[in-house]
Amino acid sequence: MFEAVAFYLFAFLTISMFWITVTTSQALYALTALAAGMIFISAFFFILGADFLGAVQIVVYSGAVMALYSFGMMFFDTTRDVKEKQGNKALILGLSTLSALLVVAIFAGPIVSDNIHALYPVIDGVGNTQQVGLVLFTKYLIPFEVAAVMLLVAMVAGIVLAGKKMDSSLTLMNEEDIHLMNNQDKKVLS
């Protein structure tokens, strides 16, 4: 009973938040609605018993990713509406509805005929986090390490792309050159 109430409540909230994200003309509203949607999705994870995943969702998505997007918001004058030349609304809605129906049809197929079976079964009596840890560090170790390398690469890429004064290296210059560089941009008021 509670589960049904919670599911429908959060479902409604998530859908409305995401709808606001895609339809509003105000950039700030979109950002805020996205963040809210992320949180509600983590609620779903908790309902489904994926505690670790829910926590990660909050921390990574609502925390880090939204922070990044907020940084991206610097490029907007937030008091102004985002003006967008709209494409064909009917086409867009039609295409997305059609794809939704098709996906449902595809998923309804095998599930009705009960073709799916478990690959890595859950061990009872242990908490979710422990189970995740067990599986992650035994069977999914290599993807884990690869993901780590990938994050590193992404981080470096982000710094290089967005950073300033990337052509000179502070550790390789003398004191006088650093001093010169710092004073170069200052304007003397006399």
Partner 1 sequence: MEIGLNHYLVLSTILFAIGLVGVMRRKNLLMLFFATEILLNSVNISFAAISHFYGDLTGQMFAFFVIAIAASEVAVGLGLLVVWHKKHNNIDLDTMTSMRG
Partner 2 sequence: MELFLYTALFSPLVGSMFAALFGASPKTKWAGIIPSILLGVSLTSSLILMLSVVDTDNIVHVELMTWMATGNLYIPFGFVVDQISVTMMVVVTLVSTVVHVYAIGYMDHDKSFNRFFAWLSAFVFSMLILVMSDNYAGLFIGWEGVGLCSWGLIGFWYHKESATWAANEAFIMNRIADLGMLIGIFLVYWNTGTLQYDEAFAAMPSLDHATLTWMGIFLFIGAMGKSAQFPLHTWLADAMEGPTPVSALIHAATMVTAGVYLVIRSNELYSLIPNVGLFIASLGTFVAIFAASMALVNRDIKRVIAYSTLSQLGYMFAAAGLGAYWVALFHLMAHAFFKALLFLGAGNVMHAMDSELDPFKMGGLAKTMKVTMIMMTLASVALAGIFPLAGFFSKDVILEAAFVDHHFIIYAVLLLTAGLTAFYSFRIIALIFHGEDRHTALGFHPHEAYKFMLWAMSPLLVLAVIAGFTFEEPFFEMVTHLLPDTEYHIHSHLTYWIMTIGTQTFVLLSIFYAYKKYMVRDIKVPDGTSAMENSFKYKLLINQYYIPYFYEEYLVKPYRELSAIFWEKVDMKVVDASVDGIANILYSTGEKTRDMQSGNLSTMLKWMVAGTVALLSLAVVFGLAVRHSDSILAILSGLGV
* Subset of residues 55 to 84 that bind partner 1, contact rule: CB under 8 A: 56-57, 60-61, 64-65, 68-69, 71-73, 75-76, 82, 84
Closer of 90 and 189 to partner 1 (Cβ): 90
Please give the Cα distance from 120 to 178 (Å, whole number): 57
Asked if 11 touches partner 1 (CB under 8 A), the answer is yes
CA 18 to chain centre: 13
Residues touching partner 2: how many (CB under 8 A)? 13
Of 20, 22, 54, nearest to 38 (Cα)? Answer: 54
Please give the Cα distance from 68 to 87 (Å, whole number): 28
Distances (CA, A) of 3 to 6, 8, 127, 128: 5, 9, 20, 19
Please identify which residue in 126, 155, 166, 173 interacts with partner 1, judged by CB under 8 A. Answer: 155
Residue 50 interacting entry, from partner 2, partner 1, none, C-beta within 5 to 8 Å by type: partner 1
Please give the Cα distance from 185 to 183 (Å, whole number): 6
Please identify which residue in 126, 143, 145, 168 interacts with partner 1, judged by CB under 8 A. Answer: 143
Q: Is 20 exposed, middle or buried (0-12, 13-18, 19+ CB in 10 A)?
A: middle
Please identify which residue in 1, 5, 22, 105 interacts with partner 2, judged by CB under 8 A. Answer: 105
Please give the Cα distance from 102 to 115 (Å, whole number): 19
Residue written as token pair 């429908």: 8
Stretch that binds partner 2, among 42-50, 56-64, 104-112, 166-174 (CB under 8 A): 104-112
Asked if 25 touches partner 2 (CB under 8 A), the answer is no
x/- mask, partner 2, residues 79-98, rule CB under 8 A, reads: --------x---xx--xx-x
Closer of 25 and 96 to partner 2 (Cβ): 96
